[in-house]
Chains A and B, each alone.
Chain A
Amino acid sequence: MKRIITSLALALAASIAAPVAAQTVAITGGKVVIGDGSAPIDGGTVVIRDGKIVAAGANVPVPADATRVDATGKWVTPGLFAGFSRLGLIEINAVRQTNDASGGESSFSAAIDVVPAINPEAVPIAVNRAAGLTRALVVPSASDTIFAGKGAMIDLGADYDAVTRSNVFQYVEMGEGGAARAGGSRAAAHLLLRTMFAEAKRYTRAPNSFESDMLTAVDAKALADVLAGRTRLLVHVERASDILEILKLRADFPALKLVLAGASEGWRVAPQIAAANVPVIASALNDLPESFEKLAATQSNIGRMKNAGVNVSIGMVNDRDAHQLRYAPQYAGNLVALNKIPGAAGLSWDEAFAAITSGPAEAMGLGAIAGSLKPGRVGDVVIWDADPLELSSAPSAVFIDGVRQSLDNRQQRLRDRYRTPQEGSLPKAYE
């Protein structure tokens, strides 16, 4: 992160990777992708100063004090933005002690905040950073009630200052997952949701005397933020009819800022979603009826929603969301490939790249902060050796908040140790 680093933080950070202080950088000569859905610009320049984008595009002057980075023949883009992740919360899913995604048996729910659990030194952060991912939404997992807690936006920089914005959204499970947590039915889940909202309203009116059988005061306060529109409500829902039920909430709770996650059947009700002006962070490649709430799943889901005017982007919803956020370009590329299949609906290359950069940032109201190379955004820039959506491409440089990052990580160390598997003059442990 770009924030001012105190001397204490600096000392701590040094033990990770000793970030260089942000300076003025000009990346020249590359094919520049702004990330907002506009077409790439050949021979463009990107200027970063004090950790922020100053300018990007053609005919951008290079400041005299800038460190120049030649990107001729390469692509220059905003860093990838994970629209749905558990980054920093999980080292190894099945090793319970390393998995902070869910509150488990905690008596709290909506008030649980991912922030204190985030570990910037988690190996998945370094691995995904090396793949060009610079920023992520971190989503708590629901345990035994529908509200999972407060999600944040983090950066993947090699320092201890990971959190860009906390309490960005509240995450709630509805559909099958909500039904299971609410006692067994969708009807019960909706009643629970609405009743908890009613309790939160009551809290707002008289916080000091609040008592409830359903909610602790801190949970009620967290939901009050949601009802007031200060915090977005990210709703995991897949079935078409479930989506419509969620859209109805705003009739009774008009200040709600809804965002849908998953939405595998979104294409069935795309006009309604578009009319409600509710953004969707959708799974890109779900095409199986993996559950009875995804019967109509198709890889054309995002393309059809886009065509209907929905503000839709890509998130890996419950899909390798702790370790493999680096799949985002592959997923986006697959949506481009759909354009060659009659009857399918894909995305243009420009739209696809926006769906993994500015798209999810905009969905969460963070587009003025991150996700593109527009002036004033965080200085998250990746230089790629070729088309970033192609399987054979990789980053050659990654900047986060204007600081050039090391691409080293544990996987590379293992690779290098076992480049030849045989032991040499000493055991592998000495290499």
Chain B
Amino acid sequence: MRKPKGSPNIFISGLVGAGLILGGLSPALAEGPQSSSRDKDSDKDGKGDKIERVSFNKNPFPSTYRRYGGRPTAITNVTIFDGEGGRIDNGVVTFADGLVVGIGGADTAIPKGAVIIDGGGKYVTPGIIDIHSHLGNYPSPSVDAVADGNEVTGPVTADVWAEHGVWPQDPGFSRAMANGGITSLQILPGSANLFGGRSVTLKNIPARTVQGMKFPGAPYGLKMACGENPKRVYGSRRQKPGSRMGNLALNRQTWARAVEYKRKWDDYQQKGGTPPARDIGMDTLKLALEGEIKIHNHCYRADEMAQVIDMAKEFGYTVSTFHHAVESYKIGDLLKANNICSAMWADWWGFKLEAYDGIPENVPLVHQAGACAIVHSDDQDQIQRLNQEAAKALADGRRMGLEISDATAISWITFNPAKAMGIGERTGSLKPKKMADIVLWNGNPLSVYSRPEKVWIDGAMLYDALDPNRRPVSDFELGQPGEGDTK
């Protein structure tokens, strides 16, 4: 979020968020819009064998993203971090028609007619993925008129959807691409609310509409928040939750309602009768209970994460990822046992009490414990340097004696977030037939002296540091001082 950096931001960095929801989402979001939101029974007397139940369009705002054109390309003689912990020196990666074709050593076959880029002295990684961003819903300029990331009118707003508050003209998207090599990102509601709403996963592609950015087929996420933010925001209004007790109480009450809602729909599906009244927020929670929507839970403290884990078991859902998770290093074993990722900053700490125990070794210690480690930004500036944040965490881990490879550190910002977001089969690593989301760096991406030289999304070159014509400029910046500048 946007805040004066470093000052306690109330709504951002961990201080807040927002969210949304929608009717049932299907795993098949990639498909086109379903034609109608509601198909009535065709059996008017209600007793035939072919009863059709009321159903809802799970994808009413379908992705219209289409990949842009690209030429078959081979990057040769380059150091490759494949995103899953592998490293190839003097390697070759080839891609065509939007997909990775080959990856390997110097003898890797190069498709006929491919553009060949000599990667001597350079590095290739998968496109960088930020699992926690507020680009678009807390955009630049940071003014109230476009601050749309928190629905701060109530602590339970599972009915709101982040994509309805994402402004595609946020200049931050282009900076994240050009300076950070970001090719996919999850935009979350803020953390003001216990249930902030639905997240949306985007391709980092300039578009006129948010639908034009939506990652085809990506599952939705549900943003939840622990701790200080919800109790502060609502407690200050003399409203529940005003304490961590209230946080858990309202969470549990809401999940209990969701379980009941789901049961009614399940009964209706089995037995027919009058369909239950539809509740847009409960639709999202029902899908979360069914595992179609991934839960992303803002939570700083180890003890609170442990309580969320028990609450999830109580109601039968699973948490994909704890976000911020500054105390994950205290419970790496518990996180591993429950198969929950931690999305962390390299070294943020101290801006509020629940961040007081943040340490620079959090990321490597979580990794060392065998749990899933992710470096995230939650920040319009650090999203431009996630590679550097990973590098700092790696260095701090090594300094305390942990043995972690460079290639593993790259997985913290590529394959691990992709898996946690449910897009790991499509992007996040350089494997044949995966999306050709690729960054060519002009040096080791773990060095402060390196920058993206070229960025491809689905095989289309959308940034080239050497070509001013491959540098996106948002509508907002057009005709303003500094338009089209190197940023």
B391, A344: Cβ atoms closer than 8 Å = no
A91, B350: Cβ atoms closer than 8 Å = yes
B5, A319: Cβ atoms closer than 8 Å = yes
Which residues between 386 and 406 of chain A lie within 8 Å of chain B, taking CB atoms? 389-394
Question: Roughly how many angstroms separate A192 CA and B353 CA in the complex, as a whole number?
Answer: 37
With both beta carbons as reference points, the residue of chain B lying nearest to A98 in the complex is identified as B353
A240, B481: Cβ atoms closer than 8 Å = yes
Question: Roughly how many angstroms separate A341 CA and B485 CA in the complex, as a whole number?
Answer: 12
Chain B interface SS verdict (over half): loop
Q: Closest CB-CB distance, B410 to chain A, in whole Å?
A: 14
Q: Closest CB-CB distance, B375 to chain A, in whole Å?
A: 13
- Other than the known A95-B353, A292-B143, A418-B330, what 11 A-B pairs have Cβ atoms closer than 8 Å? A240-B481, A287-B179, A289-B171, A290-B140, A297-B482, A298-B485, A300-B485, A316-B6, A340-B442, A344-B486, A414-B359
A290, B380: Cβ atoms closer than 8 Å = yes
19 A-B interface contacts by CB (under 8 A): A92-B352, A240-B481, A285-B381, A287-B175, A289-B171, A289-B476, A291-B142, A295-B480, A297-B487, A298-B485, A318-B7, A319-B5, A324-B347, A326-B347, A343-B486, A394-B395, A415-B365, A421-B365, A422-B333
Q: Of A94, A340, A342, which one neighbours B8 at CB under 8 angstroms?
A: A94
Taking residues whose C-beta sits less than 8 angstroms from the other chain, chain B's interface range is 35 or more
A289, B399: Cβ atoms closer than 8 Å = no
A289, B329: Cβ atoms closer than 8 Å = no
B481, A92: Cβ atoms closer than 8 Å = no
B481, A268: Cβ atoms closer than 8 Å = yes
Question: Roughly how many angstroms separate A414 CA and B450 CA in the complex, as a whole number?
Answer: 32
B482, A296: Cβ atoms closer than 8 Å = yes
Proximity string of chain B (392-408) to chain A, C-beta cutoff 8 Å, 1 when within and 0 when not: 10110011100000000
Q: Closest CB-CB distance, B57 to chain A, in whole Å?
A: 37
What 9 A-B pairs are tightest by C-beta distance, nearest first? Answer: A320-B6, A333-B448, A296-B482, A94-B8, A94-B352, A296-B481, A93-B8, A392-B395, A344-B486
A324, B6: Cβ atoms closer than 8 Å = yes
Contacts of A344 in B (CB 8 A): 486
A323, B333: Cβ atoms closer than 8 Å = no
Question: Roughly how many angstroms separate A387 CA and B328 CA in the complex, as a whole number?
Answer: 31
Q: Tell me whether B356 is interfacial, beta carbon within 8 Å.
A: yes
Contacts of A418 in B (CB 8 A): 329-330, 365
Contacts of A297 in B (CB 8 A): 482, 487
B350, A92: Cβ atoms closer than 8 Å = yes
Q: Tell me whether B201 is interfacial, beta carbon within 8 Å.
A: no
Q: Tell me whether A265 is interfacial, beta carbon within 8 Å.
A: yes
Question: Roughly how many angstroms separate A411 CA and B465 CA in the complex, as a whole number?
Answer: 39
A94 and B329 contact, Cβ closer than 8 Å, known pairs A318-B5, A323-B6, A340-B451: no
Contacts of A289 in B (CB 8 A): 140-141, 171, 476-477, 480, 482
Question: Roughly how many angstroms separate A351 CA and B264 CA in the complex, as a whole number?
Answer: 68
Which residues between 27 and 80 of chain B lie within 8 Å of chain A, taking CB atoms? none
B446, A391: Cβ atoms closer than 8 Å = yes
With both beta carbons as reference points, the residue of chain B lying nearest to A321 in the complex is identified as B6
B361, A415: Cβ atoms closer than 8 Å = yes
A391 and B6 contact, Cβ closer than 8 Å, known pairs A289-B477, A296-B485, A298-B485: no
Q: Closest CB-CB distance, B205 to chain A, in whole Å?
A: 19
A337, B451: Cβ atoms closer than 8 Å = yes
Q: Of A95, A288, A415, A421, which one neighbours B171 at CB under 8 angstroms?
A: A288
Q: Which residues of B contact A (CB under 8 A)?
A: 2, 4-8, 10, 15, 140-143, 171-172, 175, 179, 228, 329-334, 347-353, 356-361, 365, 369, 380-381, 384-385, 388, 391-392, 394-395, 398-400, 442-443, 446-451, 465-466, 468, 476-477, 480-482, 485-487
B142, A295: Cβ atoms closer than 8 Å = no
Contacts of A337 in B (CB 8 A): 448-451
Question: Roughly how many angstroms separate A218 CA and B351 CA in the complex, as a whole number?
Answer: 33
Contacts of A390 in B (CB 8 A): 447-449
Q: Closest CB-CB distance, B145 to chain A, in whole Å?
A: 11
A300, B486: Cβ atoms closer than 8 Å = yes
Q: Closest CB-CB distance, B201 to chain A, in whole Å?
A: 22
Q: Tell me whether A145 is interfacial, beta carbon within 8 Å.
A: no
A421 and B330 contact, Cβ closer than 8 Å, known pairs A92-B350, A298-B487, A414-B357: yes
Q: Of B140, B330, B334, which one neighbours A288 at CB under 8 angstroms?
A: B140
Q: Tell me whether A205 is interfacial, beta carbon within 8 Å.
A: no
B480, A288: Cβ atoms closer than 8 Å = no
Contacts of A391 in B (CB 8 A): 388, 391-392, 395, 446-448
Question: Roughly how many angstroms separate A289 CA and B175 CA in the complex, as a whole number?
Answer: 11
Q: Tell me whether A124 is interfacial, beta carbon within 8 Å.
A: yes
Q: Closest CB-CB distance, B119 to chain A, in whole Å?
A: 15
Q: Closest CB-CB distance, A119 to chain B, in whole Å?
A: 14
Question: Roughly how many angstroms separate A316 CA and B399 CA in the complex, as a whole number?
Answer: 26
Question: Roughly how many angstroms separate A253 CA and B6 CA in the complex, as a whole number?
Answer: 34
Q: Tell me whether A48 is interfacial, beta carbon within 8 Å.
A: no
Contacts of B482 in A (CB 8 A): 289, 295-298
A341, B486: Cβ atoms closer than 8 Å = yes
Which residues between 43 and 91 of chain A lie within 8 Å of chain B, taking CB atoms? 91
Q: Of B6, B172, B179, which one neighbours A322 at CB under 8 angstroms?
A: B6
A92 and B356 contact, Cβ closer than 8 Å, known pairs A318-B7, A323-B6, A323-B349: yes
Q: Tell me whether A133 is interfacial, beta carbon within 8 Å.
A: no
Question: Roughly how many angstroms separate A389 CA and B447 CA in the complex, as a whole number?
Answer: 10
Contacts of A290 in B (CB 8 A): 2, 140-142, 380
Q: Tell me whether A26 is interfacial, beta carbon within 8 Å.
A: no
Q: Closest CB-CB distance, A294 to chain B, in whole Å?
A: 8
Q: Tell me whether A334 is interfacial, beta carbon within 8 Å.
A: yes
Q: Tell me whether A123 is interfacial, beta carbon within 8 Å.
A: yes
A323, B351: Cβ atoms closer than 8 Å = yes
Q: Tell me whether A3 is interfacial, beta carbon within 8 Å.
A: no
Question: Roughly how many angstroms separate A33 CA and B391 CA in the complex, as a whole number?
Answer: 24
Q: Of B350, B385, B466, B476, which one neighbours A323 at CB under 8 angstroms?
A: B350
Q: Tell me whether A330 is interfacial, beta carbon within 8 Å.
A: yes
Among A94, A265, A422, chain B packs the most CB atoms within 10 A around the CB of A94
Q: Tell me whether A111 is interfacial, beta carbon within 8 Å.
A: no
Q: Closest CB-CB distance, A417 to chain B, in whole Å?
A: 9
With both beta carbons as reference points, the residue of chain A lying nearest to B335 in the complex is identified as A421
Contacts of B391 in A (CB 8 A): 391-392
A342 and B466 contact, Cβ closer than 8 Å, known pairs A94-B8, A319-B5, A392-B446: yes
With both beta carbons as reference points, the residue of chain A lying nearest to B349 in the complex is identified as A323
B487, A394: Cβ atoms closer than 8 Å = no
Q: Closest CB-CB distance, B430 to chain A, in whole Å?
A: 23
With both beta carbons as reference points, the residue of chain A lying nearest to B333 in the complex is identified as A421
A394, B399: Cβ atoms closer than 8 Å = yes
B448, A330: Cβ atoms closer than 8 Å = yes
Contacts of B400 in A (CB 8 A): 415, 419
Q: Closest CB-CB distance, A398 to chain B, in whole Å?
A: 15
Q: Closest CB-CB distance, A293 to chain B, in whole Å?
A: 9
Contacts of B179 in A (CB 8 A): 287, 299
Contacts of B447 in A (CB 8 A): 390-391
Q: Tell me whether A139 is interfacial, beta carbon within 8 Å.
A: no
Contacts of B481 in A (CB 8 A): 240, 265, 268, 295-296
